[in-house]
Amino acid sequence: MQRRERTRHLIELGGLVQKAGLVELTDDDRATLYGAMLDLAARAQGDGNALALWKRRGKRAFDAEAEGQDNAEGNAHD
């Protein structure tokens, strides 16, 4: 059961990489993606404000996406 949950978690994290547009931006180059993530981790360790900023941006993006889906579903029923 734990293995299945871990697999689902990893798939969801990969989905975030895709959703952020990083796969297309890097032409699916995994070394580039990994290097970028290492850079982000290093920045976050040196700047406590970065995590708070990223969290706010992510929440706004999730909210905007959810609102867009709600609007699309509402329009489909019209």
Q: According to DSSP H, which parts of 1-78 are helical?
A: 2-19, 22-25, 30-46, 48-76
Task: Say whether both 36 and 62 belong to one domain.
Answer: no
Give the pLDDT of residue 78. 54
The one-character DSSP state at 27 is T
Average pLDDT on 54-62 reads 95
Confidence class for position 75, pLDDT limits 50, 70, 90: low
Task: Say whether both 7 and 34 belong to one domain.
Answer: yes
The tokens 């976050």 sit on which residue?
44
Task: Say whether both 1 and 23 belong to one domain.
Answer: yes
Task: Say whether both 23 and 58 belong to one domain.
Answer: no
The tokens 């706010």 sit on which residue?
56
Task: Say whether both 68 and 38 belong to one domain.
Answer: no
What pTM was computed for the model? 0.74
Give the pLDDT of residue 71. 74
Domain that holds residue 58: 47-77
| pLDDT tops 70 at residue 49 | yes
Reported as a single tens digit per residue, the pLDDT across 8-37 is 999 999 999 999 999 999 999 999 999 999
The tokens 């709600």 sit on which residue?
70
